[in-house]
Amino acid sequence: MPVKITGYETHDVRFPTSLTGDGTDAMNTDCDYSSAYVTLKTSSDLVGYGMTFTIGRGNDIVCMAIRELAHRLVGKDVEDLFANMGKTWDYLCSDSQLRWIGPEKGVIHIAFGAVDNALWDMYARSRNKPLWKLIVDMTPEEVISATAFRYITDAITPTEALAMLKAKEGTKAEREATVREKGYPAYVTSAGWLGYTDEKVARLMREAVAQGFNHFKMKVGANRDSDLRRGKIIRSIIDDPQYLPAGTAPRDPNGPDLRGKNAGPTGSVLMIDANQVWDVPQAIEYVKSLEEIKPWFIEEPTAPDDILGHAAIRKALKPHGIGVATGEHAHNRMVFKQLLQAEAIDVCQVDSCRLAGVSEVLSVLLMAAKFGVPVCPHAGGVGLCEYVIHLSLIDYIAISGTMERNVLEFADHLHEHFLYPASINRNGRYNVPSNPAEGYSIEMRQSSIAEYEWPHGSYWVNSPKKSQ
């Protein structure tokens, strides 16, 4: 008997991370990391879990949008949906009244991301594979049929993308074995939040170096003198061999994985992130003044929609050896298309749920591979690390074929709320999700939902922080 989607549940789950300064930056000073969470139900025991990420108030609005989109799936045969996930993506996007309040951006688009991700999670669970494995085991033709190509064929056509996938197909097994053995390269963000004291930053950096990380990111943009001071503290730790794990030799700063990244004497790399706080001329002058701490790139130096602004910043900073990265707030594949066409970025930072789910992410991975720009997904939030390791594995194994210069963001908090949490090995790399039951790794513990659901979860009922 065919399995059909019968209903859905949403949950507005908020964690009080603002109390400890987690997630703080120059633009976002009061972050309560939050999950707009959805469960898709079927006529069998098959389910799908998805979420999108916010930082607090407004999460309830996203949940409302998720319900409107999920309702479009009720009554649908799951195998019909799975047979062509690109067509399914188009169907979810095609309600003209819902699309009007985007189109393909804002609240409706990130809600779409939660629903599309939940459907992909269900698909992977139905095949008893983690999401990344489901996709890398697809034929190139199946991947193409699952990808959103509308509005980007002036940058990459399905025919071009198919040829790229076929060129990598014969060596997929070799890359899969390599990454299973070594893990996927990661960088740490959770030591560099703007709201932390100098002492906390120094302690967390020492711990991160000891864990095997060699890429680190700090938030900047609130105060230039403070940024320089904190940057020098960080450099004094990550550039000092005494803090390396026992028996670990410094990496070669001029090696193929580090060349052009402003790596220090131990092979450690520092990145900086302004979270959109500057105008274009201000960004250029401010970042030039931080050249002393040798950042590899400045992330989100200005408004995320300003393609030509990013291009101007990149051109101005290139003589100073500093690159430009952006993408966590890029609305859709069209913004990435333009960033790539305008040569505006050195690093492409897709977000797993600001883009409208896996089908749209695939389109950006393919474009970035064509343009030769490394993809380093955004993961500084609840659930994002769990999501994005799958995306980086798909990129490495099936699409770009490289992880030599890639690094995937890791923020070490809130993983305990998920049944299949992301984890890091002793060399500062993501472990490969390997449980065949985990799907897209985003299933949240029921106890966490009961405690942190807004406003009636046990934490919020008993918390003095009720001003949300």
Local confidence pLDDT in tens for the 468 residues of the chain: 899 999 999 999 999 988 876 555 556 666 899 999 999 999 999 999 999 999 999 999 999 999 999 999 999 999 999 999 999 999 999 999 999 999 999 999 999 999 999 999 999 999 999 999 999 999 999 999 999 999 999 999 999 999 999 999 999 999 999 999 999 999 998 777 777 899 999 999 999 999 999 999 999 999 999 999 999 999 999 999 999 998 899 999 999 999 999 999 999 999 999 999 999 999 999 999 999 999 999 999 999 999 999 999 999 999 999 999 999 999 999 999 999 999 999 999 999 999 999 999 999 999 999 999 999 999 988 999 999 999 999 999 999 999 999 999 998 889 999 999 999 999 999 999 999 999 999 999 999 999 999 999 999 999 865 444
> Would you give the distance in Å from CA 274 to the centre of its chain?
17
Residue 174, burial from CB neighbour count under 10 angstroms (0-12, 13-18, 19+)? exposed
CA–CA separation, 56 vs 431, rounded Å? 29
Write down the catalytic residue from 168, 215, 261, 378: 378
* Residue 393 and residue 273 share a domain: yes
Strand partners of residue 50: 38
The one-character DSSP state at 205 is H
Domain carrying residue 272: 172-434
375 close to 364: Cβ distance less than 8 angstroms: yes
Amino acid 465: pLDDT: 59
Collapsing DSSP to helix, strand or coil, 105 comes out as coil
With respect to residue 36, please indicate whether it lies within any of the assigned structural domains: yes
* Residue 451 and residue 312 share a domain: no
72 close to 92: Cβ distance less than 8 angstroms: yes
With respect to residue 106, please indicate whether it lies within any of the assigned structural domains: yes
Question: How much of the chain is helix, strand and coil, in % rounded to 5?
Answer: 45, 15, 45
Amino acid 193: pLDDT: 75
* Residue 341 and residue 296 share a domain: yes
Amino acid 26: pLDDT: 57
Give the list of residues 6+ apart from residue 230 with CB closer than 8 angstroms, or none.
Answer: 192, 198, 201, 218
With respect to residue 158, please indicate whether it lies within any of the assigned structural domains: no
CATH number, domain with residue 33: 3.30.390.10
Query: What is the CA angle 5-7-11, rounded to 5?
Result: 130
Amino acid 24: pLDDT: 57
With respect to residue 164, please indicate whether it lies within any of the assigned structural domains: no
Q: How far is CA 22 from CA 41, 197, 264, 269, in A?
A: 34, 12, 27, 22
CATH number, domain with residue 265: 3.20.20.120
Write down the catalytic residue from 76, 219, 294, 337: 219
* Residue 193 and residue 114 share a domain: no
* Residue 339 and residue 201 share a domain: yes
CA–CA separation, 348 vs 328, rounded Å? 9
Locate tokens 């105060």: which residue?
223
What domain count does the chain have?
Answer: 2
- Read off the tokens for 289: 């003044």
Q: Which pTM was predicted?
A: 0.96
With respect to residue 371, please indicate whether it lies within any of the assigned structural domains: yes
* Residue 456 and residue 410 share a domain: no
Helix 280-288 to helix 307-317 angle (10° resolution) is 30
Largest Cα span, the chain? 67
Nearest to 377 by CA among 353, 400, 342: 353
Annotation marks residue 415 as catalytic? no
CA–CA separation, 409 vs 238, rounded Å? 17
Amino acid 468: pLDDT: 47
* Residue 341 and residue 198 share a domain: yes
Nearest to 303 by CA among 312, 290, 294, 316: 312
> Would you give the distance in Å from CA 376 to the centre of its chain?
8
* Residue 123 and residue 212 share a domain: no
With respect to residue 468, please indicate whether it lies within any of the assigned structural domains: no
Nearest to 386 by CA among 131, 136, 207, 144: 131
* Residue 11 and residue 95 share a domain: yes
With respect to residue 331, please indicate whether it lies within any of the assigned structural domains: yes
* Residue 452 and residue 418 share a domain: no
Give the list of residues 6+ apart from residue 2 with CB closer than 8 angstroms, or none.
Answer: 77, 78, 79
* Residue 191 and residue 133 share a domain: no
* Residue 350 and residue 429 share a domain: yes
State pLDDT tens for residues 271-298.
999 999 999 999 999 999 999 999 999 9
Amino acid 195: pLDDT: 78
Q: How far is CA 416 from CA 171, 386, 387, 422, in A?
A: 35, 11, 14, 9
Annotation marks residue 219 as catalytic? yes
Amino acid 23: pLDDT: 58
With respect to residue 247, please indicate whether it lies within any of the assigned structural domains: yes
Q: How many CB atoms lie within 10 A of CB 224?
A: 13
89 close to 116: Cβ distance less than 8 angstroms: yes
Amino acid 247: pLDDT: 87
Amino acid 467: pLDDT: 43
